[in-house]
Structure 1
Amino acid sequence: MREKAQESVKAVLPVMVIVLILSFLIAPLSPDIMVEFMTGAVLVIIGMAFFSLGAEVSMTPMGERVGGNLVKTKKLWFIIGTGFVLGMMITISEPDLQVLARQVPSVPNMVLILSVALGVGLFLAIALIRILVGFALAPLLILFYLLIFLLAMLAPADFLAVAFDSGGVTTGPMTVPFIMALGVGISAIRNDRHAEDDSFGLVALCSIGPILAVLILSLVYQTEGSFSPEIGRNIATSVEVGQLFFEATPDYMKEIAVSLLPITVFFGLFQMFSLKLEKKTLSKILIGLVYTYIGLVLFLTGANVGFIPAGNALGTVLAALPYSWILIPLGMLIGYFIVKAEPAVYVLMKQVEELTDGAISGKAMQISLSIGVAVSVGLSMIRVLTGISVLWFLIPGYVIALGLTFLVPKIFTAIAFDSGGVASGPMTATFLLPLAQGACIAMGGDVVRDAFGVVAMVAMTPLITIQILGVLYVRRETQSADRSTGVEYQVDISELFAEYEDDEIIEF
């Protein structure tokens, strides 16, 4: 717990310092918003520590054991059906999906939720089949993203940003560790050399389903976007701040309980009928679930109550400055650090390090993710200031990302497309998106068209930066092999002269 707490402090502290410096120098924020933000940041730090520990001792072992047990049944229809049902159950209970549903007013909430859940369930089933048969990930990604952009050309403009955002919000911090571990468990049954590579990619494919679902809905429903910003509550005393957080906590306790229930029930059924784990192992997993629950409740309470008003207010103040262009470098700075506070990022980094035996370091991945998110936030602020359509950034971005799949090892492609869904988590939705929304309102722009799309941009740029890391990795390995070959060559030459005396060699 001490180690997790230190990681959490290092992740959140830079964002706190940046907001404090901005509020004291160029972007004054009201005292109530600042107190809410600081209180929320403390809860986020504590929540991250509990979540990281809980995911490590419960969610990951659960997913790996369920995945391995599924394959042992040797019944393809059962594996596909289980993946489909599990994908739907997890998605329906995802809290961020409720937020997404409210952003598309003319589509009934339940229609949108069930459509997105259907998309995730279908693509989770496809992802499991891909692992079992060993089919390459890159061709599937190219095929499905071509379909996405063809549908995007037909979709109304008000649907585009929300549709692409949906791919990020439905792969939340609770479901990502379980889904990733599920892939590890299933691929572990295979003994071929590509099994570890194929264990990644589930999150990448599951992120496609929601985008397709919302784009298809856009062909049926016509909508004009609506948005109500979250503003400060005019808090007068510290007691009122406490009440604000205490009143919100029961709602998040209920949301997270509903979200964890499907996975817990699912695992419980496997335990009863198939797994039969020892009491000690089972107790450890149950304790980890409690840690996960506590962590997510604290994290989401702090992020939603404390960060959303601060993000909106900061964006509004910065955009109103005579030099509003400062939004671009400041957004990039915040984006660079805020991705480190995404709880699922640490789960991905740890899994990558373990499966590659440290060949791909967590630090290199974190730097690549930070650079990617910084670029995406900078581009998002350009969109806010200029009103450029999100497709002008997404289409070239995905063309580059899909083109890089031909140049890097398979594992880098899978990790990169997984990292897109992982990076676009609750911190993006509760701080970066409100930052863009506040700036858009101050600029008099269309919030639904110009501000939404931040999540989509954050989900896109890591696909490029992680694969560039793969290109550098390949180059380093090639250089290392060349140096190794050179050493062997020198040894061979020296052996040729071993039978001669020194003066004979000189003469020669």
Structure 2
Amino acid sequence: MTNALKDKIFESLTSILPIALIVMGLSIILTPLETGTFVLFIVGVFLLIVGLGSFMLGADMSMLVIGEKIGSTITHSRKIWLIALISFVIGIIVTIAEPDLQILANQVSAVNNYLFIVTVAVGVGLFLMIAMLRIVFRVRLNILLIVFYTLAFILCIAFVPKDFWAVSFDSGGVTTGPMTVPFIMALGVGVASIRGDKHGQDDSFGLVALSSIGPVIAVLILGITFHVSGLEYDMNALHVGAVSDTQGVFMQYMHGFADYAKEVGIALSPILAFFVLFQIVSRSFHKKQLFKIGFGFIYTFVGLVLFLTGANVGFMPVGREIGEALAGLYGGWLLIPVGMLIGYFVVAAEPAVHVLNKQVERMSAGGITSAAMKKGLCIGVSISLGLAMLRIITGINIMWILIPGYVIALVLTFFTPALFTGIAFDSGGVASGAMVSSFVLPMAIGACNVLQGTGDIMTLAFGCVAFVALTPLISIQILGIHYKHKTYRIKRNFLHVEDKILEYEVE
């Protein structure tokens, strides 16, 4: 085991341990778990720690390197048609096998799985193309965000049945998961590096932000086309299987390893094929780099298989049981503080969040630290899950939260430094990943099943992913405004000291 892998596993341990301790505390004090379910969870914690560490190392060695090189190469060619075509193809390739998207598609029974996945993938492809061209033509990010979010809300309110609102906005969150984020973010860094002007760094972020809007609009159009209404949730989608002994636990994980090895293999193969084709055409990497990238793909594959198996086999049934148990206590009101506590820590366990924080710290030359980003995201996601649980208890229409939330987020773009606008809207998509899909969403579904019944799950339980994607937009932009004022004060104090020195020299 290399020192780099040890460091990554230790980092993932500090991220996942708080969630494990919270669940163990709840199982002892408020929500007793069945023995088999608890053993599944303990094994899942171990797999998440090792898997997240391996994934982070693999992403550093392969996905980020490839993405940056492809981004810089196609931009350096100065061929607009090539930039547009490759962006569109990459968007579809990295989305169509995103594990989080597969989970969501399985739960939307009113639409064929493949049709739903292809629709979302085309939405990401089109908007990734728009995002890349935005960097080339130097279009302001906040203008595009205002235009497209306004379009999304008009489609929602005027044309799409309300049963499909939450699913549409959730689709924007789940598509930007552990497969897509490293590659898309690295593309932005690569494209912006060729620009060489003072705003190039600001424009290196924002690709994930626009790629998250594409699926929302695409799925809304799908809802209009198929007149989707009266969606009902199938509770069997959360069924993992009861286990009563260690043999049962072993068999559940063996099935999980087989299933997710196949899924991750399918997800990585198009990216690997695209990389091979790119290398044959461009000869961008020498032999030593190719070996390193190859080992990076292996780490990424192993890490994602372990992580997704642990999350879906170990955490999904625990999330459902905790949600159902809390919903039965004190009218369900305990869901709000527990949801906020889980939200504060769960975001640190998202694989893509570590990629974002590292890219932010690197692109800002340490001016924006990973610790500051982590705190801003934790606060945002904590608030979002509090709102999600409140909506399950009270039945509030999702638009009463989404519309004011996005209005605030879009207004803040006029007061926040451009760099923070891109980071904030990227962070919204990044925060809503595998852990939210496999732990938080099942918890919301279990709670909604007890409090409101199966018929309201699609409108009330779904939407928590959308809230997780919303609140970081506000919290990170507020962080940006604070950073702007702090920088201004430091600069003003420096100029004041400089003036004093000049006065002293004159005297």
Task: Please give the TM-score of this superposition, normalised by the length of structure 2.
Answer: 0.96
Unaligned runs of 5+ in 1: 499-508
Q: Tell me the alpha carbon deviations over residues 325-375 of structure 1, each in whole angstroms, 9 at most, x when there is no partner.
A: 111011100010010000111111111111110011110000000000000
In the TM superposition, residue 231 of structure 1 has moved relative to its aligned partner by: 4.2
Counterpart AA for 1:175: T
Partner of 2:334: 326
In the alignment, what sits opposite 1:389?
Answer: 397
1:167 aligns with 2:172: yes
Query: Which structure has the greater CA radius of gyration?
Result: 1
Quote the Cα distance in structure 1 between the aligned partners of 2:339 and 2:117. 31
* Separation (CA, whole Å) in 2 of partners of 1:243 and 1:102: 23
- Following superposition, the deviation at residue 251 of structure 1 comes to 0.9
Tell me if the contact between 2:52 and 2:303 (Cα under 8 Å) persists in the aligned partners: yes
Contact map agreement 1:231 1:312 (CA 8 A) in 2 = no
Q: Give the Å deviation of 1:86.
A: 1.4
Q: Of residues 395, 407, 413 in structure 2, which corresponds to 1:405? A: 413
The answer to whether the aligner puts 1:255 opposite 2:263 as a matched pair is: yes
Change (3 A) 1:276 1:406: closer
Q: Is 1:32 paired with 2:40? A: no
> Which secondary structure state, in structure 2, belongs to the residue aligned with residue 412 of structure 1?
helix
Quick one: which of 129, 133, 151 aligns to 1:129? 133
* Residue 230 (structure 2) aligns with: 224
In the alignment, is residue 366 of structure 1 matched against residue 378 of structure 2? no
CA distance in 2, matches of 1:443, 1:304: 24
Identical aligned residues as a percent: 51
Deviations 1:376-415, CA, capped at 9 Å, x for gaps: 0000000010011111111111001000000011000000
**Cα root mean square deviation, aligned:** 1.2
CA distance in 1, matches of 2:285, 2:500: 56
Q: Is the 8 A contact 1:180 1:200 kept in 2?
A: yes
Tell whether 2:470 aligns with 1:460. yes
1:150-189 residue pairs with structure 2 within 5 A? 150-154=154-158, 155-189=160-194
| Cα distance in structure 2, aligned partners of 1:378 and 1:399 | 20
Take 2:405 and 2:325, find their aligned partners in 1: how far apart are those partners?
A: 30
After TM superposition, the structure 1 = structure 2 runs for residues 409-420 of structure 1, keeping only pairs within 5 Å, are 409-420=417-428
Which range moved further: 416-425 or 96-105?
96-105
Q: Deviations over 1:270-320 (max 9, x none)?
A: 101113421101000010000000000000000001111000000000010
1:323, CA displacement in angstroms? 5.0
User: How many residue pairs are counted as aligned between the two chains?
Assistant: 497
Question: Gapped runs of 5+ residues in structure 2?
Answer: none
SS of equivalent to 2:225: coil
Shift of 1:444: 2.4
Task: Tell me which residue corresponds to 1:85.
Answer: 89
- Amino acid paired to 1:17: L
Which residue of structure 2 aligns with residue 447 of structure 1?
457
Q: Does structure 2 retain, via aligned residues, the 8 Å contact 1:231–1:313? A: no
Which residue matches 1:298? 306
Q: Quick check: 2:392–2:447 contact (8 Å CA) kept in 1? A: yes
For residues 214-242 of structure 1, the C-alpha deviation after alignment (integer angstroms, 9 at most, x for no partner) is: 11111122232222332463312112101
Q: 1:187 deviation in Å?
A: 1.2
Q: CA deviation at 1:22?
A: 0.8
The 8 Å contact of residues 202 and 419 in structure 2, kept in 1 or not, is answered as yes
8 Å contact kept, 1:65–1:185: yes
Matched AA of 2:269: L
Match of residue 238, structure 1, among 229, 243, 246:
246
Output the CA distance in 2 between the equivalents of 1:150 and 1:176. Answer: 28
Q: TM-score by structure 1 length?
A: 0.96
